[in-house]
Chains A and B, each alone.
Chain A
Amino acid sequence: QKEVEQDPGPLSVPEGAIVSLNCTYSNSAFQYFMWYRQYSRKGPELLMYTYSSGNKEDGRFTAQVDKSSKYISLFIRDSQPSDSATYLCAMSAHSSASKIIFGSGTRLSIRP
């Protein structure tokens, strides 16, 4: 069993829809929870990170972490065609320099 599980999709929604992306994990040591966006043939770029349980909002993006259920989510409001990419959840045990464990990524397509 992988430490981080993520539905690979693909997920296709119409422009303006609310998108929900999710991951589960098994390692209780994870404290930092990240969402990365990756365009084709590019490296991942950090969208947002959350420490421990709770919600965090940044513009159209909201990240939620529920450590009791070992479940994290990313919501995208008013989705745009430019949001079409692969979204990777990721986790680490420390804030300092350390390895990140990634999910397999969900391919998202926003239809105009």
Chain B
Amino acid sequence: GAGVSQTPSNKVTEKGKYVELRCDPISGHTALYWYRQSLGQGPEFLIYFQGTGAADDSGLPNDRFFAVRPEGSVSTLKIQRTERGDSAVYLCASSRGGLSSYNEQFFGPGTRLTVL
């Protein structure tokens, strides 16, 4: 079946602009995660959703970052007033959710954001 998809695959923007990054999780997965990966580093947790609600947003670096998942499926990560330091690959992952067993997170290919 289809995996996690992310659009766009690449985004180039100018400092100060607003960007939206989209994630389509695997069908039926109730949990959705956003991570950020800078060059030469491992993914860094940003936020995760269980259904429509943000269950843990402790990784969002500041109030310029916001994410939504209004219908419990597709999610959008929104970044206001972008800064050069926001340049990174933004990864989305999804998992089945639930409490009973190990929840493998399946990752999308990422959106490469470049802020000029």
Chain A positions near chain B (C-beta within 8 angstroms)? 4, 6, 8, 32, 41-46, 49, 51, 88, 90, 95-105
Interface secondary structure of A, over-half rule? loop
Q: What distance in Å separates the Cβ of A52 from its nearest Cβ neighbour in chain B?
A: 12
Residue among B40, B44, B103 with the highest chain A CB neighbour number at 10 A: B103
Counting residue pairs across A and B whose Cβ atoms lie within 8 Å, the total is 70
Say whether A43 contacts B41, CB under 8 Å. no
Q: What distance in Å separates the Cβ of A3 from its nearest Cβ neighbour in chain B?
A: 11
B4 interface residue per 8 A CB criterion:
yes
Chain B positions near chain A (C-beta within 8 angstroms)? 4, 30-31, 33, 35, 40-45, 48, 50, 55-56, 58-59, 91, 93, 95, 97-110
Beyond A98-B48, A100-B105, whether A43 also contacts B42 by CB under 8 A is: no
Q: What distance in Å separates the Cβ of A23 from its nearest Cβ neighbour in chain B?
A: 10
Say whether B91 contacts A43, CB under 8 Å. yes
For the complex of A and B, 6 pairs with smallest distance between CB atoms: A43-B107, A102-B42, A97-B31, A99-B45, A96-B99, A95-B102
Q: Which residues of A contact B107 (CB under 8 A)?
A: 43-45
Q: What distance in Å separates the Cβ of B107 from its nearest Cβ neighbour in chain A?
A: 3
Say whether B42 contacts A6, CB under 8 Å. yes
Complex-state Cα separation, A6 to B42, whole angstroms? 10
Residue among A44, A51, A103 with the highest chain B CB neighbour number at 10 A: A44
Say whether B43 contacts A97, CB under 8 Å. no
Say whether A97 contacts B103, CB under 8 Å. yes
